[in-house]
Amino acid sequence: MRIGELATRSGMAASTIRYYEQEGLLPRASRNANGYRVYQESALEQLNLIDVGQKLGFSLDAIRTVLGLQGAALQDGLLQGLDTRLGEIDGLMATLATQRQALLDARERLQQAWAQGECLNQAALAKGGPACDTELAPLTGSRASK
């Protein structure tokens, strides 16, 4: 099949297919008499695997490595890659949970300070310190008037 048909069937742009071919993720297409690329049906399967890998967060390098494996090495490589990616996601989730809690804490401190008509020291906000800084003027006043 020609690149246009492969693009349509895979849902990928022709430029993406050419890029994958250039990067070694897709076998080189043969050329017909007029120079058009001609792809085998297996190219569609390979593009689908690349798409799935990317949607799961794998880099093109990791996908290239797995695509180069066969037999038991392929199975082991896939399982190892999935385990590695799961570990990465677990780490990201832990980081995001920590950041989420810090945001909730900062929001609460801001609400408390503002409800009391006070400003919140940036250091206190960032480090989870006290909600109000007694050195800062209330929101209704200014330092100059003190």
pLDDT at 18 over 50: yes
Q: Is the pTM of this model over 0.85?
A: no
- How far apart (Å, rounded) are the C-alpha atoms in residues 125 and 78? 44
| The Cα angle at residue 99 between residues 95 and 118, in degrees rounded to 5 | 165
The answer to the question of residue 119 being in a domain is: no
The residue range of the domain holding 23 is 3-107
pLDDT at 135 over 50: no
Residue 25 maps to which CATH number? 1.10.1660.10
Mean pLDDT computed over 38-58: 96
Q: Where are the beta strands (DSSP E) in 28-130?
A: 30-31, 37-38
Q: Long-range contacts: 62-68, Cβ < 8 Å, 24+?
A: 63/25, 64/23, 64/24, 64/25, 67/25
Task: Please count the structural domains in the chain.
Answer: 1
Per-residue pLDDT band for 136 (boundaries 50, 70, 90) equals very low
Task: Answer yes or no: are the C-beta atoms of 137 and 146 closer than 8 Å.
Answer: yes
The answer to the question of residue 46 being in a domain is: yes
